[in-house]
Amino acid sequence: MRAILLILPILLGTSQVPASAEDAPNLTPLQRTDAFRSAYAASFYEFDACGDGFAGRIYRSALTQKLDRCPFTAEAKQRFRAWAPAQRRKASEAITNLIEKTGGLPVRLDGMTQTCHAQMASAEYRTVRRRLEDFYVGKIGADAVVAQPCDAAEIAP
């Protein structure tokens, strides 16, 4: 690895070697938070609409912390921060309407391949839930909850 770092300045035509990947300057800051927005919006249906609003809030907190640490432009981060409260209101209204329409939380949401109960009983969901609990009590950081890179095309819990 150090050999690659020594050759990197020659390949890039620069005179300095970054001490680590973190110290390397970010020449093209990310500007699009689409994957983070999609994950944030989907989390209301993944967690909240199936009755696990606590996990949803924890996931969205971890997702937002991860976004804040990513090399997005200040403008991109601000757009996300301005968009998130509107998304929370929109999702809350949609879930409230769903509850009123069905007389409670649904057994299965449109588009789901399994019921909420089956989803929550799955090994995959329990693994996600444990990570969220570990994040909540400070055992792990946001990167352990949202393992995808900042420039991922898709983010899922």
Instruction: Give me the pLDDT at residue 115, please.
Output: 81
Instruction: Give me the pLDDT at residue 15, please.
Output: 35
Angle separating helix axes 74-102 and 53-69, nearest 10 degrees: 170
Q: Is 106 left (phi over 0), alpha (psi -120 to 50) or beta?
A: beta
The pLDDT tens digits for 102-133 are 777 666 666 677 888 888 999 999 999 999 99
Instruction: Give me the pLDDT at residue 60, please.
Output: 97
The token duo for 16 is 């300095």
Using the CB atoms, write b or e for 129-147: b if 16+ within 10 Å. Answer: bebbeebbeeebebeebbe
Mean pLDDT taken over the chain: 80
Instruction: Give all strands (DSSP E) within 67-133, no chain letters.
Output: none
The token duo for 28 is 């093209």
Instruction: Give me the pLDDT at residue 107, please.
Output: 67
Contact 157, 46 (CB under 8 A): yes
Which one is predicted more confidently, 118 or 2? 118
**HEC states along 87-139?**
HHHHHHHHHHHHHHHHCCCCCCCCCCCCCHHHHHHCHHHHHHHHHHHHHHCCC
Tell me the C-alpha distance between 153 and 34, whole Å.
Answer: 8
The pLDDT tens digits for 71-109 are 999 999 999 999 999 999 998 898 888 778 877 766 666
Tell me the C-alpha distance between 48 and 20, whole Å.
Answer: 40
